[in-house]
């Protein structure tokens, strides 16, 4: 460390001379610039237009099978997992509850409610979909029109046999909330048909809410700031070019 620093000083020259007083100001200026940058970005984030939600919440949602995920480990004896099973109540599973203890649900008939996101991957005999059960899927709608931060997306892979996936419409992505499905099926902790993936193999599916477009309002303050930044960059570029030539 000291060797490197010593080299640093040597290579740097270390002499300061009459302009040495500017060093501190240069550093302070750089720090102030960074602080201003953070302040500007935060102010623009706060100024963005926002609604309460971007799509209606899903009504009559079944309650989750557990109040909160209960973690288990692979090494836990079967009796522990069986005891956990006694605490399950009728209702829907969630991705968070399942991944905390996949053994608890392996081979069980489950109910899962979620938004179709990404793509509907149609294959022979059916289609793979990802059903998200996070607040963006079921309560708030996609982020954008609303700016409520509710965490990661969480969801499960679901195999929909032919007859269940034909009327889903476009899947959820930017500018669209996908169809919200209620599926009943069997959960496979390590599904051989998916190379060991965690899946739900649906036997029935009901569309609770159709696929709908959602629009976020254009943030005019941000657009104005972007325009000003672009003009400033152009002016700074011209200034630099003149200095180089001069």
Partner 1 sequence: MSAVLRPSVEDLRLIGFYLGRVLTGLGLLMLVPLPLAAVLREWNALSALLLGAGIALTLGALADAHLRSRRQLGWSHGMVVVALAWIVGSAVAAVPMHVSGRFADPLAALFEAASALTTTGMSVINDLDHLEASMNLYRHLLQIAGGLGILIVVLALFSAGGSRVSTLYVSEARDERILPNVLRTSRFIARVTVAFGVAGTTALAVALLAAGFGPWRAVEHAVSLFFSSFSTGGFSVMQSSMIAYHAPAVEVVVLLIMFAGMLSFGLHHAVWRGDVAEVRRHVETRTLALVGTSLLVLLTVGLVRSGTYGDVTAILRRGLFTLVSATSSTGHQVNAGDTYLSDWGVLAPAALVGAMAIGGMASSTAGGIKALRVALAVKAVVHDIRRFLLPESAVVVTTYHVGRRRILRPDVSRAATTVLLLYVVSFLLGTMVALTYGGLDVTQALFEAVSVGANIGISIGVVQPGMPSWLQLVYVVQMLLGRLEFVAVLVLVGYLLSFVRTPRRRRRPS
Site for partner 1 in 176-195 (CB under 8 A): 177, 189-190, 192, 194-195
State which of residues 119, 186, 207, 208 lies at the interface with partner 1 (CB under 8 A).
119
Contact between 31 and partner 1 by CB under 8 A: the answer reads: no
Pick between residue 132 and residue 182 the one whose CB is nearest to partner 1. Answer: 132
Q: How far apart are CA 62 and CA 49, in angstroms?
A: 32
Pick between residue 34 and residue 85 the one whose CB is nearest to partner 1. Answer: 34
Q: In Å, what is the CA distance from 197 to each residue of 32, 34, 90, 106?
A: 50, 45, 25, 12
Q: Give 1: exposed, middle or buried? Use CB within 10 Å, 0-12, 13-18, 19+.
A: exposed
Q: How far apart are CA 188 and CA 201, in angstroms?
A: 7
Q: CB atoms < 10 A from the CB of 105, how many? A: 23
Contact between 103 and partner 1 by CB under 8 A: the answer reads: yes
Pick between residue 203 and residue 229 the one whose CB is nearest to partner 1. Answer: 229
Segment lying near partner 1 (by CB under 8 A), choices 16-24, 58-66, 84-92, 179-187 = 16-24
Q: ∠ CA 163-164-166 to the nearest 5 degrees?
A: 75
State which of residues 92, 93, 94, 155 lies at the interface with partner 1 (CB under 8 A).
155
Contact between 108 and partner 1 by CB under 8 A: the answer reads: no
Name the minimum Å distance from CB 213 to partner 1. 12
* Phi/psi of residue 29, nearest 5 degrees: -60, -40
Q: Interface mask (CB under 8 A) for partner 1, residues 49-68, using x and -?
A: --------------------
Segment lying near partner 1 (by CB under 8 A), choices 38-46, 56-64, 86-94, 201-209 = 38-46
Q: CB atoms < 10 A from the CB of 122, how many? A: 14
């Amino acid at each position: 460390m000291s060797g490197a620093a010593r080299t640093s000083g040597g290579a740097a020259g270390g002499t300061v001379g009459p302009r040495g007083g500017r060093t501190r100001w240069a550093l302070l200026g750089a720090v102030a610039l960074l602080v201003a940058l953070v302040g500007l970005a935060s102010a623009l984030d706060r100024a963005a237009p926002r609604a309460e939600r971007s799509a209606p919440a899903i009504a009559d949602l079944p309650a989750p099978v557990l109040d909160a995920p209960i973690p288990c480990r692979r090494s836990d004896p079967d009796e522990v997992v069986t005891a956990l099973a006694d605490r399950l109540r009728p209702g829907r599973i969630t991705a968070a509850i399942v991944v905390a203890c996949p053994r608890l649900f392996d081979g069980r008939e489950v109910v899962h409610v979620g938004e179709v996101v990404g793509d509907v991957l149609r294959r022979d005999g059916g289609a793979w979909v990802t059903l998200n059960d996070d607040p963006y899927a079921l309560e708030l709608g996609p982020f954008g029109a609303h700016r409520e931060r509710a965490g990661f997306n969480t969801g499960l892979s679901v195999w929909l046999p032919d007859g269940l996936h034909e009327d889903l419409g476009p899947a959820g992505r930017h500018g669209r909330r996908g169809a919200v499905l209620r599926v009943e099926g069997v959960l496979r902790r390590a599904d051989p048909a998916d190379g060991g993936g965690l899946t739900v193999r649906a036997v029935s599916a009901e569309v609770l809410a159709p696929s709908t477009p959602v629009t976020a309002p254009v943030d005019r303050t941000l657009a104005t700031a972007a325009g000003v930044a672009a003009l400033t960059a152009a002016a700074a570029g011209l200034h630099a070019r003149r200095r180089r030539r001069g």
